[in-house]
Amino acid sequence: MEQKQYRHIGVSLEQAKALMEQYLPKGERCKELVALPEALGRIAAEDYISPIFQPPFPRSPLDGYAVRSDDIKGASREHPAVLTVTEEVDAGGYPSSELSRGKAVRIMTGAPIPEGADCIVKQEETDYGEEEVQIYQEHPAYDNYCYRGEDFKKGDCLVKKGTRITYVELGLLAGMGYDQVSVFQRPKVAVFATGDELTDPGKPLLPGKIYNSNLYLLMGRIREMGGEITASGIVPDNEEEAARVLKASITKADLVVTTGGVSVGKRDIIHGALEVLGAEKIFWKVQVKPGTPTVFSIAERTPVISLSGNPFGAVANLELLVSPLLHSMMGDHSLLPRRKAVLEDGFPKGGKVRRIVRGYYRDGKVYLPKGLHSSGAISSMRGCNCLLDIPSGSKGLSKGDTVEVILILGMEAGIWN
């Protein structure tokens, strides 16, 4: 009976992503200006072009003497070139004059090379002279010479709009002199777990109850993905009550994520709750295991994605469906990285439906956790850094088979135990 209410039933993962993109409310994403340190993990909302050359001046890569290469031609320990030291320039200082023939400037790493000098002799190749220096080694022009702008030039675009700001971009932005960064606002996400069996951690566990893992799995991963959690909690298995809680959060959220209650049981209340809300029901059931009964709807212009209650079903589809949606909402153009990998452990279970299996990817190989692979099991997710994407119709996989894996962003390294 629920079936009639959905526009699409049983879509592929690709169709699901396309439908979500299609129904996502359009419009320019909101930007905000944040202080540089706060920009970590955010998405740049503008191109950042360098107003300066880096380094801004030719500089010395070592401690030594700035000289004219012509003046040290043929220099050796037996026949040193003898030059008059005119001044000392340290990092942060600036040479007072051009270097003329027969002269040297004592120079430290990072200090500007005076005009006229075209190479640096490291101090170990000299007698460390203070007024006069003996140079024991000849160098061609521009040896040990860091050019102005050799790292980046004025006008170079170093951080493109849509780039996720990692510590590297943070360093680049600082290196260009930006102390504030325009970033896209974090999508505001409301997360709810449904189920009368759920107990908040910290409370005693009564008979028949379980602790609410999913809420924390989902909130944690959504925050890692760049979302801001604006509301969260448990919704009882009651359609009216669920609709009431969802309604209160919807207008304040850019996205609502729920878990549980999406299957065909008597207590699978999401279908009814969405009906009470007057949501537009876009699709139900994605052709993938686990997490098949995923629902996507739009309530008051806000996308609502309802994931399975089984923890791994919820997490897998969070990665496969919610992550691209959040990326798109954040203006992040990075894709879920896919790799081909050779299986180091067999996975005998085949099946008609495309299957997502957790694993650990390293150096072109993928390993499977030893623990329980069931969609209800959480413990074997520890240390996993990828999802194996096993196509429909698989007859089971053996060690040595090649599979496609999706890397879980931020977990690339993994911690295998």
Q: How far apart are CA 185 and CA 304, in angstroms?
A: 19
d(CA 374, CA 346): 16
From residue 139 to residue 178, the character string flagging contacts with ligand AMP as x (rule: CB under 6 A) and all else as - is: ----------------------------------------
CA distance 347 to 359: 11
CA nearest neighbour of 403 among 371, 366, 355: 366
Return the residue nearest ligand AMP (CB atom).
309
Total residues at the site for ligand AMP (CB under 6 A)? 20
Contacts with ligand AMP in 241-280 (CB under 6 A)?
Answer: 259-263, 265
205 binds ligand AMP (CB under 6 A): no
Task: Tell me whether residue 387 is exposed, middle or buried, using C-beta atoms within 10 angstroms of its C-beta: 0 to 12, 13 to 18, 19 or more.
Answer: buried
Partner interacting with residue 214 (select from ligand AMP, Mg ion, none; CB below 5-8 Å by kind):
ligand AMP
Among 80, 114, 227, 260, binds Mg ion (CB under 5 A): 260
Please report how close the Cβ of residue 13 comes to ligand AMP at its closest, in angstroms.
19
294 is a site residue for ligand AMP (CB under 6 A): no
> Binding segment for ligand AMP among 156-164, 211-219, 277-285, 337-345 (CB under 6 A)?
211-219
Q: Toward ligand AMP, which CB reaches closer, 80 or 311?
A: 311
Site for ligand AMP in 89-108 (CB under 6 A): none
Provide the minimum distance between the beta carbon of 394 and ligand AMP in the complex, in angstroms, as a whole number.
24
308 touching ligand AMP, by CB under 6 A? yes
Least separation in angstroms between CB 248 and ligand AMP: 19
Asked if 369 is part of the footprint of ligand AMP (rule: CB under 6 A), the reply reads no
Binding-site string for Mg ion from residue 302 to residue 341, where x marks contact by CB under 5 A and - marks none: -------x--------------------------------
Distance CA 375, CA 290 (A): 6
- Nearer residue to ligand AMP within complex by CB, 350 or 376: 376
292 scored as a contact of ligand AMP (CB under 6 A): no
What residues from 23 to 62 belong to the interface with ligand AMP (CB under 6 A)? none
Residue 80, number of CB atoms within 10 A of its CB: 18
Only one of the segments 32-40, 44-52, 143-151, 256-264 lies at the binding site for Mg ion (rule: CB under 5 A); that segment is 256-264
Candidates 52-60, 192-200, 297-305, 354-362; binding stretch for Mg ion (CB under 5 A): 192-200
* Cβ atoms 137, 75 nearer than 8 A: yes
Nearer to Mg ion, 58 or 261 (CB): 261
Q: Is 193 in the site for ligand AMP (CB under 6 A)?
A: yes
Taking CB under 5 A as the rule, does residue 187 contact Mg ion?
no
Is residue 290 a contact residue for ligand AMP (CB under 6 A)? no
212 binds ligand AMP (CB under 6 A): yes
Task: Give 265 or 391: the residue with its C-beta nearer to ligand AMP.
Answer: 265
Q: Judged by CB under 6 A, does residue 197 bind ligand AMP?
A: yes
Give yes or no for residue 195 binding ligand AMP (CB under 6 A). yes
Is 315 near ligand AMP (CB under 6 A)?
no
In the complex, the residues that contact ligand AMP under the rule CB under 6 A are 193, 195, 197-198, 210, 212-215, 259-263, 265, 308-311, 376
In the complex, the residues that contact Mg ion under the rule CB under 5 A are 195, 260-261, 309
